[in-house]
Amino acid sequence: MNLKFHGWFTECSPMWPGQAFSLKINKLIFDKKSQYQHIQIYETEKYGRMLVLDGAIQLTERDEASYQEMLAFLPLNSHPNPEKVLVIGGGDGGILREVAKHPAVKEIVMCEIDDHVVAACKEHIPSLASGFSDPRVTLHFGDGMEFLGSHAGKFDVIITDASDPVVPDDDEAGKDGPAATLFNDAFYARLHEKLNPEGVLACQGESMWLHKDLIKGLMKKSRELYPVVEYAYTCTPSYPCGQIGFILCSKNPTLNLRVPVTKWTSEEVKRLKLKYYNTDIHSASFVLPTFMTEFLSSD
């Protein structure tokens, strides 16, 4: 299943069979197998630098803002006072960079399993790294599930910036990736325990064009724990099908995640150097096409 063109990187995965996206490469900058995964950083011809984990594109500099800003500000701007924030995963630093822009945030804890991802991105994709040096940030390396079990504090907002649960393998069906546990029931239950009573959770939620069943299952699981559960999405050309979603949950039954309580003017959006997020797109990102609303509302 491995397609190769000379001078191009091609992404194939059992999670999106029958389709492949390729980017022209200037050079391979970093290539290492860590204890957890195969980490590669490329310089592409048209998409800037690119992080690849186990053969799957995690981000490119050209379009990463569409993911990072939306996954960070959908929950942060829905919460009336997001002082304490936990980020699970996100070792590239992009989510951290955005969370650190939010003026209400006082403390950011990040738990990433793979210190080699952090080190590689800090060195080779510095455009992502500003959050790591923020004095409000505490960085832990370890398994997200174990961290939640041992950490004493609670959070106003938790963001899980996970890679896909299944990664390519020699066999067509693929194998569990290091993020597989971030999609299971026990992990979801622990996230719930670690959220303050008014807390908001935001998780990477896959693409509606590829993984409707997975999304519906995650939302159903979330509804057993939260009174408010929503699905929103963003457009990121370098992700499969050009799109990725987010599952958003609130412990506060009266919170409307679709309408931000923090509304930024276009001057504030400019000052915060936002490329994608704005107050209008916050609400628009919850508006789903007919096939998805019908699928989610069916039994």
* 140 neighbors 149 (Cβ within 8 angstroms): no
The smaller minimum CB distance to a second copy, of residues 94 and 144, is found at: 94
Which 8-state DSSP code applies to residue 250? E
186 is a site residue for a second copy (CB under 8 A)? no
CB of 181 to a second copy, least distance (A): 28
Contacts with a second copy, 192-221, as mask; x by CB under 8 A: -----------------x------------
189 is a site residue for a second copy (CB under 8 A)? no
What's the CA gap between 83 and 277, in Å, rounded?
20
* 36 neighbors 163 (Cβ within 8 angstroms): no
* Sheet containing strand 195-204, strands side by side: 137-141, 107-112, 84-89, 155-161, 195-204, 243-250, 228-235
Pairing state of beta strands 175-176 and 166-167? antiparallel
Q: Which of 56, 182, 247, 281 binds a second copy (CB under 8 A)?
A: 281
Find the part of the chain contacting a second copy (CB under 8 A) among 129-137, 152-160, 179-187, 285-293. 285-293
Closest by CA position to 145, among listed 200, 184, 93, 114? 184
Find the part of the chain contacting a second copy (CB under 8 A) among 153-161, 192-200, 213-221, 263-271. 263-271
How many CB atoms are closer than 10 A to CB 17?
A: 13
Residues 113-172 binding a second copy (CB under 8 A) are none
- Contact positions toward a second copy, by CB under 8 A? 3, 5, 8, 10, 17-24, 44-47, 63, 65-66, 209, 235, 237, 240-243, 266, 269-270, 274-278, 280-281, 283-284, 287-291, 293-294
